[in-house]
Structure formats: structure tokens, C-alpha cells
């Protein structure tokens, strides 16, 4: 079944013959395969037999980044509900100091791409979860409604976030004007920069994978990176040299922003992520 789906996509999009498809490690969304064409060219295929992972939206996001930025992402050859075919990129998720500096330069450049409103021209994804992006002039309003309150509701409806914790998130959301303020202008972010979504070879980053893009306060990208230890001090130092990092990011905004990915992970996995959500809420007295 899987080979039939991949072979059909290869033939339609590339006019080539499928030689082989072997499962690869990684990939939380769908099944991931290393594909070899008849002429020996390697590709990566993501397959979702049920069509529930919105692979066409992942294809859109990768294409958007290739067209609008210099961020290295794989070229997409085919994108549909059930199949994503893309370029195979060499690299590993182990980063030298040089690779961390290169990542900082690439993301700083990405964050220099701006828009007139927060959100995006269409909804995107975080994992396989809908990420609503109605264009919004106010960052605090966008982050309140489309990130914190939205994810709290989704996690509650999935039985992962108790009602009392939803109310605590709501109380914190009422204080966002004081806690995060209004950055300007909206900046393009990758949105899901953890180590498994970045490939490096030597001192060069070769690809960023699995984006969850939208226009945001770019500090939310830095917060996500620090939460999952995607990169270390070398990355932050180089990024600060280019764009600067305000002291209130470390004091306050980093923890507020990380409520969003913590709620996402609570929805998917529960357990310790719910404890981390509660620790953050407690820190802010709610």
C-alpha cells in the first residue's frame, strides 16, 4: 500500500520510476521513507495513509520558506493529503559551534522578513495540529486568542488539560499586555526549531525541516529553542550580535511564550508537560 502511494506520486510529479522505499527513523507525523528513484536519486517521502496529517500544508510551508527567505529547506516535488515528496538533504542533528553560529545567522535573517499583521495568509500546522493564523494587528491579542486560549481549549477537549488549569491560563492571558507588550513589526518565524528539525554538516546548517511558520514576535522562536535546548550559548551570543536580545526576554517573556509549546506537548503527550504548564502558571501567580 505505501509503495503504491509513493510510486504513484513519483510517476505523476517526476515522471520517474520508483526503485525502492525504506523506512527512516524519526518523523512524528506520518511515516517517513528514504526513496530511491530508478536513476539512483534519493528523496524523502512522508506518507499518511488516512490523510489526517495535512501533509499538503507542510508542503505549502516549505514552499513558502523557499520562495520568501534564504532559510535552507528541502525542495518539495509533490504535496497532497497522503503524500509529501521532497529533496533528500545530507546532515545530522549534532551541531558544532560553527553550525550554531550559522543557525543564528539564518534565523536572524528569517526574522528580518516582516508583514503588516501577526498570523499568516492561511492556517498552518504545529505537528499535525491546526495552527490558526487570522491576520491580527495586536500581538497580545493574537497570542492570547490564537495561541494560549486556543491551545488550552484544544487540550481540554482532548482530556489532557483539567478545567481548573484552563481557568488559570485564562487568568494569565488577561495580563499579557503587561507581561509581553507589543513588539513591532511582525516577523516570519520557522515555529518548530528543535534539534530533530535541523540538519547540519560540519559548520553549516543544511536544512530546517517541519516548519510551523507564521508572523510573530521573533522572541517566541528563541523561547522555543531554549525550552528544548535546540542550540546553546554560542547560538544566543551570535543572534544577539545581529539582532540584540532584550533583557526582559530572559526575565519574563521566555516563560510566557513557552506556555504555547508546553500546551501543545500537553495535548500530544500529557504527563510531565502538564506539570511544566502548572509550574509556569504558578511562577506568574495564577
Residues 140 and 31 in one domain: no
Residues 60 and 108 in one domain: no
Query: Whole-angstrom Cα distance, residue 179 to residue 29?
Result: 33
What tens digit of pLDDT does each residue of 50-61 get?
767 789 999 999
Helix (H/G/I), strand (E/B), else coil: 259:
helix
Report whether pLDDT(139) > 90: yes
Structural domain span for residue 167: 97-283
Whether 42 maps to a domain, the answer reads yes
Residues 127 and 247 in one domain: yes
Q: Which three cell numbers stand for residue 175?
A: 495580563
Return the exposure string of 181-218: e unless at least 16 CB atoms fall within 10 Å of the residue's CB, then b.
Answer: eebeebbbbbbbbbbebbbbeeeebbbbbbbbbbbbbb
Number of structural domains the chain divides into: 2
CATH number, position 189: 3.90.1200.10
pLDDT of residue 51: 64
**CA of residue 28 relative to chain centroid, distance:** 13
Query: Whole-angstrom Cα distance, residue 58 to residue 125?
Result: 7
CA torsion, ordered 222, 225, 231, 237, to nearest 10 deg: 10
Whether 191 maps to a domain, the answer reads yes
Report whether pLDDT(2) > 90: no
Residues 141 and 198 in one domain: yes
Q: Give the model's confidence band at 28: pLDDT under 50 very low, under 70 low, under 90 confident, else very high.
A: low
Helix (H/G/I), strand (E/B), else coil: 187:
strand
Q: Give the model's confidence band at 25: pLDDT under 50 very low, under 70 low, under 90 confident, else very high.
A: low
pLDDT of residue 156: 97
Report whether pLDDT(152) > 60: yes
Residues 241 and 202 in one domain: yes
Q: How far is CA 148 from CA 60, 168, 224, 265, in A?
A: 25, 11, 14, 13
- Which of 55, 87, 119 is the endpoint of a domain? 87
Whether 174 maps to a domain, the answer reads yes
- Per the DSSP assignment, residues forming a β-bridge with 194 are none
Whether 225 maps to a domain, the answer reads yes
| Range 213-239 average pLDDT | 97
What tens digit of pLDDT does each residue of 234-259 get?
999 999 999 999 999 999 999 999 99
H/E element, 242: helix 233-243
The model scores a pTM over 0.75: yes
- Which of 48, 64, 87 is the endpoint of a domain? 87
- Per the DSSP assignment, residues forming a β-bridge with 23 are 33
Question: Cβ of 43: how many Cβ atoms within 10 Å?
Answer: 24
Whether 92 maps to a domain, the answer reads no
Residues 81 and 184 in one domain: no
pLDDT of residue 79: 93
Position with higher pLDDT, 31 vs 265 = 265
CATH number, position 71: 3.30.200.20
What tens digit of pLDDT does each residue of 127-136 get?
889 999 999 9
- Which of 36, 57, 87 is the endpoint of a domain? 87
Amino acid at each position: 500500500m505505501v509503495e503504491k502511494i509513493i510510486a504513484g506520486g513519483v510517476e505523476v510529479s517526476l515522471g520517474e520510476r520508483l526503485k525502492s522505499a525504506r523506512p527512516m527513523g524519526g518523523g512524528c507525523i506520518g511515516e517517513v521513507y528514504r526513496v530511491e528513484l530508478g536513476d539512483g536519486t534519493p528523496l524523502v517521502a512522508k506518507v499518511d495513509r488516512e490523510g489526517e496529517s495535512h501533509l499538503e500544508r507542510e508542503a505549502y510551508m516549505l514552499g513558502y520558506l523557499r520562495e520568501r527567505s534564504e532559510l535552507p529547506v528541502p525542495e518539495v516535488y509533490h504535496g497532497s493529503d497522503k503524500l509529501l515528496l521532497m529533496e533528500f538533504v545530507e546532515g545530522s542533528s549534532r551541531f558544532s559551534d560553527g553550525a550554531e553560529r550559522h543557525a543564528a545567522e539564518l534565523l536572524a535573517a528569517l526574522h528580518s522578513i516582516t508583514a503588516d499583521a501577526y498570523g499568516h495568509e492561511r492556517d498552518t500546522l504545529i505537528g499535525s495540529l491546526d495552527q490558526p493564523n487570522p491576520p491580527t494587528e495586536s500581538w497580545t491579542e493574537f497570542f492570547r486568542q490564537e495561541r494560549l486560549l486556543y491551545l488550552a481549549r484544544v487540550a481540554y477537549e482532548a482530556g489532557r488539560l483539567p478545567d481548573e488549569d484552563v481557568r488559570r491560563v485564562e487568568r494569565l492571558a488577561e495580563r499579557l499586555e503587561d507581561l509581553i507588550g507589543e513588539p513591532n513589526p511582525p516577523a516570519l518565524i520557522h515555529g518548530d526549531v528543535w534539534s530533530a528539525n535541523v540538519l547540519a554538516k560540519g559548520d553549516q546548517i543544511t536544512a530546517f525541516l517541519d516548519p510551523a511558520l507564521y508572523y510573530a514576535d521573533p522572541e517566541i522562536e528563541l523561547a522555543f529553542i531554549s525550552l528544548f535546548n535546540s542550540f546553546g550559548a554560542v547560538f544566543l551570543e551570535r543572534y544577539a550580535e545581529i539582532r540584540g536580545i532584550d533583557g526582559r526576554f530572559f526575565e519574563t517573556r521566555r516563560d510566557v511564550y513557552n506556555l504555547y509549546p508546553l500546551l501543545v506537548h500537553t495535548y500530544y503527550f500529557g504527563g510531565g508537560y502538564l506539570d511544566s504548564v502548572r509550574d509556569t502558571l504558578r511562577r506568574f501567580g495564577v
